Structure 1
Amino acid sequence: MSEVLERVRGVCGELVLRKVRVDPETADFEVIANGVFLMDTRNGESERLLVSVAADSVPGRARMLIGGLGVGFSLRAALDHDGVGDIFVVEREPAVVEWNRTGPLREVHGDALSDGRVTVVEADLVSWLDSTDERFDAMCLDIDNGPQWTVTEGNAALYSAAGLDMVAARLRPGGVLAVWSAEASDAFTRRLRARFSEVRVLEIPVPRGEPDVVWIARP
């Protein structure tokens, strides 16, 4: 049984926050963008792995960028990791920020947005990266269902050769890039290997369908 909690006009089009109850004791939340499933609170293992592997790959306390707030799984994992310091979260949808800050998603991550280490930037990630002077030890990007399944057409630029050059320029020396996807992409792997000297492809099994994928890359 599902219940629509809120329906809003967002940057990417229509956004719907839905509550799905499997039994009287258990409920999950889903975010739907223009009728297409975007994210939910059912598992989150691969989203947490996105952050933990990136943080493990850099020494000291990493200054981290999280591209895409989602349901807060990645942010919670970053706050709980001893190797993460200040965190910038870039999210272009005000409704998603509000659902996480004061709405029902707040309980999913224990009010992570109130932590003093967190800075929320309400902006389009591609545009923001192109204009900011900020630099990071770890950049964890999860704004689409994958390089081949973007929420809006403009996001495709992030996964292009020029987009990867832009991302690499925002990394501090020794920094690491992590990218999440709901499916594999040989073409994106090739583009990463053409730009970065070290690339790992991690597959994370999910209850149904093909594994989620996390790419870890170093310039």
Structure 2
Amino acid sequence: MAPVTPTQARTGAPEAPRTLDRREGPYGEVVLRQRGGPGTDGPGTPAAPVIYEIIANGCFLMDTSDGRSERLLIDAALDALPAGRAHPSVLIGGLGVGFSLARAARQPRWGRIVVVEREEAVIDWHRTGPLSAVSADALADPRTGILHTDLVAHLRTEAVRDTYDALCLDIDNGPDWTVTEDNDSLYSPDGLAACRDRLTPGGVLAVWSAQPSPAFEEALRNAGFSGVHTEEIPVVRGVPDVVHLARKGA
């Protein structure tokens, strides 16, 4: 949730965002917007904090106003791994605004860090655009690799059999609120089986969601995962953001 700017405090009206880039891709439209910055609130007022937003097909995905739950996605997965596992590998599903990648790269315990992102525009915004402020150090880390491909297709590609110690997935607003219909299959029995197959024994699946989903927890158990539980991050208004966690059998 974005903080209240001086304009909002004076008028009660939400600040109008500025569109920085708009792209049409194979999955629809993606937009990068900015709130805040110099001149936002008129002459003589301090510059409001800069907040970047990613919008996909008119649906708000995420912004740079907080990032606690995106960092929790990485922290909780690392904490849930078996003790003593040295230099575990992690696949991050969705580059987003870069908080999860940046968190992983700051933790020396992680070994290989692979990010799967299907939107070329999002990758560009990190490599040469405004979001480099979040991810530049992480992208320069020799452990980091970026795959420009669809996560769901990648997990199910028989020709690619890489396995990981952790899958940290954040490509939707949650299992019950997907960005595109194609993503629904990720949370189906077949999709969860594909996730399980890509994990090493004892590996952890972590899935970000904008709201708790008891039905998804049950789906994880039915898919053969153990240790299923949910960690929450309170938000200013509404239900908490959550990370669903589950472990593959040893």
For the aligned pair, the TM-score class normalised by the smaller chain equals over 0.9
Match of 1:18 among 33, 42, 62: 33
Task: String of CA shifts for 1:33-86, please: whole Å, max 9, x gaps.
Answer: 111111100001011000011112222211110000001000011011132111
State whether structure 2 residue 87 is matched by structure 1 residue 61.
yes
Match of 2:115 among 84, 89, 92: 89
Match of 1:98 among 124, 128, 136: 124
C-alpha RMSD over aligned residues: 1.3
Q: How does 1:119-158 map to 2 (within 5 A)?
A: 119-131=145-157, 132-158=160-186
Structure-2 residue corresponding to 1:204: 233
Q: CA deviation at 1:177?
A: 0.6
User: 2 CA distance for matches of 1:212 and 1:191?
Assistant: 19
Q: CA deviation at 1:166?
A: 0.8
User: 2 CA distance for matches of 1:178 and 1:137?
Assistant: 11
> 2:221 aligns to what SS in structure 1?
helix
Q: Where in structure 1 are there 5+ consecutive unaligned residues?
A: none
User: 2 CA distance for matches of 1:19 and 1:208?
Assistant: 22
> 1:168 aligns to what SS in structure 2?
helix
Q: CA deviation at 1:4?
A: 0.6
- Asked if the contact 1:199/1:217 (under 8 Å) is kept, the reply is yes
Greater strand proportion = 1
Q: How many residues align?
A: 219
Q: Where in structure 2 are there 5+ consecutive unaligned residues?
A: 1-14, 42-46
Structure-2 residue corresponding to 1:37: 60
Q: CA deviation at 1:12?
A: 2.2
Task: String of CA shifts for 1:92-147, please: whole Å, max 9, x gaps.
Answer: 00000010111000102344222211111000101011112110001100000001
